[in-house]
Structure 1
């Protein structure tokens, strides 16, 4: 067989505070001949996600940290270019978790064949049709128990998860959906494209005051991607019996010192609030239910999405650093090969 090479982005050092390019290294790998049970895949897109920052630390978390010298693992999608497995033929589209590399050679069991959907790009499997959309659905339904007529507040609403949450909340019957974002342009996008009833720019200050103005009748459900002052604002504006799905806390991911919690935690008691953190590992059984609903919504033309796409595997670190600073709108992706 012809020589098969990969360009891989690996963790070179554990970041302290904000990551830098020096925390990563690019490595060229020449693979041996295919062994029985293995396939070769040429990636089309690799995913760039906030949770990856947590895996760069060796602190206790819900998933093992990256080791120094490890390729940055995460979602990716590509096509099989060579195979020893009948069930995974050349040309098949596959999802996997091998992460930041342009090509992959590994056991077929580490890949999952997915059907192509006419008219939709493969990249959607890495966000609105994949784990991102499922995260939004699980948080709203299984964690927060959203009901028809609820007022829903979403922090970090212009990101990949946030844009999915707003749409799904409206499709499930939310009475009012409010989002925070990091620029006037993103605020306009939320209301003009994603169906948010109101949105505000958290960078303009006074998150609590802006939320109070946008939700004069209070908040029933909070889907949190940010933490910090957003969580404190939600605690102030919750109605009795309010529920929070705590998905992320990007505001503190790069902190080097302990960050104090909200000053109004007593509201959890006095208003009978429920705050629950979650990760998808315990909720994958809801994937078929989500896929059925999301596929139908797409067919009806009721789903919008945005992608911020950087070109080339050598841009993966740049994309990650920009995402951590909120440069992206919608899902951050790196295109590493032909679709």
Structure 2
């Protein structure tokens, strides 16, 4: 059994998502378990090199987790030819410039989404990566969630018959920051810093929809800013210039209709923070982050509308939970492992920059739909 080492420049891991999901629960977890096992029994070990703007934060993370190298000099880190992979989880506004530097240095690229602030940004990255011949990937973590993996099993088994519609509900109340500290960073609510729930979440919805049900052909959406003022990490009031909620109807190939509500200004009354209900001719399912419950055609109740009497049916009790039947690993880690295997084998990653472009095309179409008050078709729709 041979062991090979992949050194990864990780930019932006002082942020919440970069630190918890990508560094702790993915890269360091892989390192602690001895690396990723290849199909032929070899092992790929991973070693992070931390990059960021705050040296003190980087030093603390490095000391806490036995990481040998950290720096505030991105150019210097990219000049190290032993570091063959660059990972970006900065704020969206700084992503394109850093990734272009990494491509120019000949590095393979793995990045959070969105890959840029505009479709033009993303296309520039696609062209640069293709010219350089670098393997590139965009985080598609939700496809690896237990609930959606169970949903994919149902789809592949033909459980639904003909799929008619998808209804997605996502969101929770993000505190304004005055009475209680906000649980999301303030830049998320400033459009000038790359914030906005459409830019953030519609990239997710695009890859979820196209990989489970079909590509998005058209969208009708309304994006709004429900909470116009918030308080930042230092307790300073600021104007929220980015959309914090979006309500969309998406038309998919195969004549499937999807309705998705996304909001950081909603209080949760459902089992999980995100849930998708899929209705088909032969059955329905509701999938969240972890759970997935079903109601097949032969067990569908026959309610009758009667506004004069309270219902005697326990509708939520009429669904059956799908068993796990397998051990699910952290979704972020699962894709990291796949990307490292692809780099080691020298093959393209399935969820590449082109997938990131499609996500941004949906973002662009949804925002145009909202601004112009009309249905917008996507390219190829």
- TM-score interval, normalised by the smaller of the two chains: 0.3 to 0.5
TM-score under structure 2 length normalisation: 0.33
- Looking at secondary structure, tell me which structure has more helix per residue: 2
TM-score under structure 1 length normalisation: 0.36
Bigger radius of gyration? 2
